[in-house]
Structure 1
């Protein structure tokens, strides 16, 4: 079988993330651990975003990426995104694009910057040489500390989502197996509480 192209691979990951969201999204959002860690991740993302905006980076980065192939939002960087990180974006309410909007750039880049909230390590941590030179060292240190907190919160959320998915897929597998062994009875009949006679 032929290996899919880079563009095809990212769209496979997007499709798989959407499938997981459709199948497990509500259950993941109702999982107390996942819900708590997603909130912590959102809060950490908001802190990093606020700092970048206050430092004037957000507008500068969006302008750089939209005007020409920027040094960070290049075509191919989306290879770092797997179905779980994309699923987390869906759980956070992001609309993941179906097509590349800006030729020669990342699939997830739009005219105002990245369309995703939960982003790959490189996308969050990279600071281009031009911006790095323009910032004072203390600001760089503060920003990188916030980025580290965001990445850690993202890692924790990702681990919780992976664990919850494994548990749910195992439960679904057990339900299917028990239903097939029971013949004509449905899964609901097998697992509905029965009343004592």
Structure 2
């Protein structure tokens, strides 16, 4: 079983190995149709973040507070395999190494490189954000985040269900975690 403390590169490696099997399971269970909706809602969230200036606030903070804050290296350990698999199924490329050893492996020059993010990364709004972004924009953003997180949660739940169903049938699967 993969522990939260396991390295993110190990989780990425496992996700790459399991992507195809989970994709087939989604097809068999008629869940594949939710992937385009997840992509749409995640893209809408990112576009809204960009348009209200949130992305630039976060990037600026990450550069100034290297090694601390929302995009610190510690945050990457919270990512679980189902979230990483969803990103792979949506065509994201998962990095194999850090651009900056003090920050999250998924932090790129223009923000997070993932389309589907961990719920903390989506929901948490620090004081910098609350001070710089108007409340009406944050309210719009939270509503949009809710749509994104709901679909993500439904699909992640199905991936966990797949893992639980196959732990008895495929002895090598639990060892991969």
Q: Give the TM bin, normalised by the shorter chain.
A: 0.7 to 0.9
Kindly indicate whether the alpha-carbon contact (under 8 Å) linking 2:22 and 2:159 is maintained by their aligned counterparts in 1. Answer: no
| Unaligned stretches of 5+ residues in structure 1 | 174-197
Deviation of 1:25 after TM superposition, in Å, equals 5.1
- Of residues 109, 118, 122, the one that matches 1:124 is 122
| 1:84 partnered with 2:82 | yes
Between 64-73 and 85-94, report the one with greater CA deviation: 64-73
Deviation of 1:67 after TM superposition, in Å, equals 4.3
Kindly indicate whether the alpha-carbon contact (under 8 Å) linking 2:73 and 2:103 is maintained by their aligned counterparts in 1. Answer: yes
Kindly indicate whether the alpha-carbon contact (under 8 Å) linking 2:19 and 2:88 is maintained by their aligned counterparts in 1. Answer: yes
| 1:49 partnered with 2:46 | yes
- Paired with 2:25 and 2:91, the residues of 1 have a C-alpha distance of 13
- Paired with 1:66 and 1:102, the residues of 2 have a C-alpha distance of 10
- Paired with 1:75 and 1:170, the residues of 2 have a C-alpha distance of 31
- Of residues 31, 35, 42, the one that matches 2:32 is 35
1:38-187 paired onto structure 2 within 5 Å: 38-69=35-66, 71-164=69-162, 169=166, 173=170
Of structures 1 and 2, the larger Rg is shown by 1
| Unaligned stretches of 5+ residues in structure 2 | 171-177
- Paired with 1:170 and 1:12, the residues of 2 have a C-alpha distance of 19
Give the TM-score normalised by the residue count of structure 2.
Answer: 0.81
- Paired with 2:107 and 2:28, the residues of 1 have a C-alpha distance of 31
Kindly indicate whether the alpha-carbon contact (under 8 Å) linking 1:66 and 1:110 is maintained by their aligned counterparts in 2. Answer: no
Deviation of 1:30 after TM superposition, in Å, equals 3.3
- Paired with 2:128 and 2:111, the residues of 1 have a C-alpha distance of 18
- Paired residue for 1:191? none
Give the TM-score normalised by the residue count of structure 1.
Answer: 0.74
Higher relative contact order (CA 8 A, sep 6+): 2
RMSD over aligned Cα atoms? 2.6
* Deviation sequence 1:34-59 (CA, Å, 0-9, x none): 21222221111112112111101123
